[in-house]
Amino acid sequence: MSEGNNKAAAGNAVQNIVNTLKNNPKALYVLIGAAAVVFLVTGLSGGGSGQVEVKTAVSSGQSITLENPNGGNSHLTISPGLVSASDSEEDSESNVCTAPAGTQATVEEEQVVGLLPFVKVKVTSGDCQGKTGWTSKINVKSGK
């Protein structure tokens, strides 16, 4: 196909679309709705990097306090990852300890799983003292 034929075909395609929209108002409404959905999804997505930002800076050997921002206990597990809410035997095998708010610990390691940051801590006070496990970084508060 020559360049002239390409322009003519493009012109015919545009003319056909315009005629369809003039003759079928439902097609126009669908087009407007689709544009609105794209606009809303783009606007509501936040435009960020897609990563969860946890502002607590920690380093290996740092003393921290475990404090769940939702008011509950901080769960320590044998590996970084999501903690299950079920009480099945399989899930209990991955739990190391459940530390109440205010429990003191020392940071050993930090790792990101998926998009979520986790911290490996060694508990230095309370019922979990001496135990080592992973918790979500959101449960870590710098300093004592």
Q: Taking the complete model, does pTM exceed 0.75, yes or no? A: no
Say what the pLDDT of residue 28 is. 77
Instruction: Give the pLDDT of residue 90.
Output: 52
Q: What pLDDT does 64 receive?
A: 94
> What pLDDT shows up at residue 86?
46
* Element holding 108 (H helix, E strand): strand 103-113
pLDDT below 50 — which residues of the chain? Answer: 51-52, 85-88
pLDDT at residue 53, rounded to an integer: 52
Residues 6+ apart with CB under 8 A from 105: 63, 64, 65, 66, 99, 121, 122, 123, 124, 125
